[in-house]
Structure 1
């Protein structure tokens, strides 16, 4: 059975479990996989950072009410957030890092900022 290098497609000679013709092809193949993964991560992080910046700019005092239209016009992407938090009374806050929002009605949102102490060692 003929085996071809996963990177360049040339015929492989040697061990039966060999996947690449040489170390350069192995490195090229694995680096290409890393780059593709990193692009996805960079894209998602970019959206999260933008969402956080929008929430921070619309909420300078730590609590504010805004309309969905205002968030949309600023470019907020509701599909991306870092976590959600459900209170004891059943309200669900959606956060993008330390900034979050609570849906009050179809068009009104309460913006909040969660104060957390970060302990660096």
Structure 2
């Protein structure tokens, strides 16, 4: 049974467990496998960066209030965030990197910036 390279299809010679004819084919094959993952990660990172920049723009003084309408009109995507933080009194802040928000009554949000120590 003749074996062939997984990338280019050329016949293989040598070891029985050889999968590629050379390093270029091996690199090309593995790079093509990762392209799908890379596109998903790029899209998600793009959304997170956009959310962060919107929060930073609407919160120049590290603490401000805004509305859901303003966030949505700026292009904020509420489905994507980096982490959450729950306070001792039960409030849950949602963050995109160091910028976050707390949901208040009547579709309002308190915007905050977390200072790293």
Taking structure 1 as the reference length, the TM-score comes to 0.82
Q: Distance in 2 between matches of 1:57 and 1:71?
A: 11
Stretches of structure 1 that go unaligned for 5 or more consecutive residues are none
The Cα shift of 1:81 comes to: 1.1
The Cα shift of 1:82 comes to: 1.2
Pairing of 1:1-121 with structure 2 (within 5 A) = 1-105=1-105, 107-117=107-117
Q: Distance in 1 between matches of 2:6 and 2:105?
A: 54
CA RMSD of aligned residues (A): 1.9
The Cα shift of 1:68 comes to: 1.0
Stretches of structure 2 that go unaligned for 5 or more consecutive residues are none
Q: Distance in 2 between matches of 1:111 and 1:39?
A: 30
Taking structure 2 as the reference length, the TM-score comes to 0.85
